[in-house]
Amino acid sequence: MVGSAAGAGAGLCIHQVTLMESCDFRQSTECLARNNVAGTAVWRAKLEEIGVGQAARLLADAGVRAVSLCAGGLLTEPGAAASRAALDDNRRWLDAAAAIGAATMVTLTGGLPNGSRDLEAARQRAKERLAQLLPHARAAGVRLALEPLHPMVCGYRSVISSLREANDWIDDIGAGDELGIALDSYAVWWEAGLAAEIARAGARIVNFHCADWLADTADVRLDRGMPGDGLIDNRGIWRMVKETGFAGPIEVEIFSARNWWKRDPDEVVGIVKERVAEIA
Ligand code: ZN
């Protein structure tokens, strides 16, 4: 291992999306390395800009581990052709995740198809297609990390909104450990009974994402706060996740068009490290 994995950031993962507008793939990898941050979650659009081979080399050279690939899934479009296309895309993305050494692929159900109001049908399609991806995930050695998102983005991003639903789906599908859960504090901090659902999820939790919910949020998707600046008890949620036996890193995932994306990446990473030290 390269020395950059040592130090205060060794148990930390900062998603590429946190440096979305200041860094391309190479710049964000180098920024994390020089700040001793051991892991990143690779953003699919950034991966597609440079290709899997170059991405794997950049990560290896920098000593930065790809914790996961974000995001696959998007499984709700109706029709046989759309189903085939979505499954083919996801199989390619799973192979890409394996090629960069990512243990998981964060998987979103997708939202309600254009013109549709049939939420239950969209959920049913997503669940069935998720089940159909399991053999390929197993073969690729990459776990699908199903991520419920906040109900405000149900329309266009995720037709499941709670950890309870994610647990129910995995029970229904009857999956093995090729299907887990990405728990994002920003998505589920509001959920009644969250502690019980975290305990129920147990070893299913394969990724822990955090950000903060700003009291004056201007955009529920693109105005995430830095942990410590908002309403989420990240420290308490992290403690519950740790109690399940979770051994992965804290992953900081901040979509922030009006603030953090505009700042110098080294400054952002420095502040992330300070804030995570207060959670862990
Ligand atoms: Zn997330």
Measure 184 CA to ligand 1 centroid, in angstroms. Answer: 5
Q: What is the mean pLDDT of the chain?
A: 95
pLDDT above 60 (res 6): no
Do residues 142 and 98 touch, judged by C-beta distance below 8 A? yes
- Write out the DSSP string of 221-248: TTBPBPTTSSS--HHHHHHHHHHTT--S
Measure 248 CA to ligand 1 centroid, in angstroms. Answer: 14
The tokens describing 209, both together, are 């994402």
Output the CA angle 36-38-41, nearest 5 degrees.
125
Measure 237 CA to ligand 1 centroid, in angstroms. Answer: 14
**Cα–Cα distance for residue pair 21/33, rounded to 1 Å:** 18
Nearest to 88 by CA among 136, 43, 144, 140: 136
- The interaxial angle of helices 119-140 and 163-173, nearest 10 deg, is 60
The residue-averaged pLDDT of 103-114 equals: 98
Measure 183 CA to ligand 1 centroid, in angstroms. Answer: 7
Do residues 214 and 225 touch, judged by C-beta distance below 8 A? yes
The tokens describing 34, both together, are 């020089």
At residue 9, the pLDDT reads: 54
Measure 94 CA to ligand 1 centroid, in angstroms. Answer: 18
Q: What is the pLDDT of residues 37-90, one digit of tens each?
A: 999 999 999 999 999 999 999 999 999 999 999 999 999 999 999 999 999 999
**Cα–Cα distance for residue pair 180/84, rounded to 1 Å:** 23
Measure 82 CA to ligand 1 centroid, in angstroms. Answer: 25
Is the pTM here over 0.85, yes or no? yes
**Cα–Cα distance for residue pair 29/64, rounded to 1 Å:** 7
At residue 84, the pLDDT reads: 98
Do residues 173 and 130 touch, judged by C-beta distance below 8 A? yes
Measure 116 CA to ligand 1 centroid, in angstroms. Answer: 26
Measure 210 CA to ligand 1 centroid, in angstroms. Answer: 7
Q: What is the pLDDT of residues 186-213, one digit of tens each?
A: 999 999 999 999 999 999 999 999 999 9
At residue 11, the pLDDT reads: 82
The tokens describing 74, both together, are 């998007």
Superfamily of domain 8-279: Divalent-metal-dependent TIM barrel enzymes (3.20.20.150)
- Cα–chain center distance at 126: 18
Q: What are phi and psi of 101, to 5 degrees?
A: 85, 15
**Cα–Cα distance for residue pair 132/144, rounded to 1 Å:** 12
Measure 48 CA to ligand 1 centroid, in angstroms. Answer: 19
* H/E element, 2: none
At residue 116, the pLDDT reads: 96
- The domain spans of the chain are 8-279
Measure 186 CA to ligand 1 centroid, in angstroms. Answer: 8
Q: Is the peptide bond before 145 cis (omega within 30 degrees of 0)?
A: no
Measure 14 CA to ligand 1 centroid, in angstroms. Answer: 11
Neighbours of 274 (CB within 10 A): 12
Measure 147 CA to ligand 1 centroid, in angstroms. Answer: 7
pLDDT above 80 (res 1): no
Measure 182 CA to ligand 1 centroid, in angstroms. Answer: 7
The tokens describing 250, both together, are 């804290």
- 232 Rama sector, left if φ>0, alpha if ψ -120 to 50, beta otherwise: beta
**Cα–Cα distance for residue pair 113/47, rounded to 1 Å:** 26
Measure 57 CA to ligand 1 centroid, in angstroms. Answer: 25
Nearest to 105 by CA among 167, 156, 43, 23: 43
Measure 106 CA to ligand 1 centroid, in angstroms. Answer: 8
Residues 6 or more apart whose CB falls under 8 angstroms from that of 128 comprise: none
At residue 10, the pLDDT reads: 56
At residue 81, the pLDDT reads: 98
**Cα–Cα distance for residue pair 242/220, rounded to 1 Å:** 27
Q: Which amino acid is at 53?
A: G
